[in-house]
């Protein structure tokens, strides 16, 4: 099991080589979400503790537009899909049908 910030860092290293055009956009929204998770009490920072239900409170707090929320869900889906491929989690809670 990995904390989300470690998964994000590892994922960013991969997309820096494979999809550099998406890196800056995904990194910004993922790091802001991760920072918010770490500030919560209790902090749900381990990959298998993070669920869809964490996104809406964050989106409200950060005043994300519907487009920004969709972008966050997409970036989270990418990180969690990649993490599942690494064997760090069993399934992607942000997979198809998330929104």
pLDDT tens digit sequence for 28-53: 999 999 999 999 999 999 999 999 99
Which is nearest to 8 in space by CA: 75, 93, 69?
75
Rounded Cα distance between 23 and 49, Å, is 24
Rounded Cα distance between 50 and 76, Å, is 10
Q: What is the pLDDT confidence band of residue 60, given thresholds at 50, 70 and 90?
A: very high
The token duo for 39 is 């500030």
Structure pTM?
0.90
Using DSSP, state whether 90 is helix, strand or coil.
coil
């Amino acid at each position: 099991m990995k904390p989300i910030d470690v998964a994000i860092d590892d994922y960013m290293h991969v997309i820096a080589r494979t999809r550099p055009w998406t890196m800056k956009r995904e990194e910004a929204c993922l790091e802001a979400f991760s920072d918010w998770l770490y500030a919560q009490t209790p902090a749900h920072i381990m990959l298998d503790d993070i669920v869809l239900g964490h996104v809406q409170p964050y989106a409200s707090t950060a005043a994300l537009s519907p487009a920004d929320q969709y972008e966050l869900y997409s970036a989270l889906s990418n990180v969690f899909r990649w993490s599942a491929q690494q064997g760090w989690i069993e399934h992607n809670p942000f997979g198809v049908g998330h929104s």
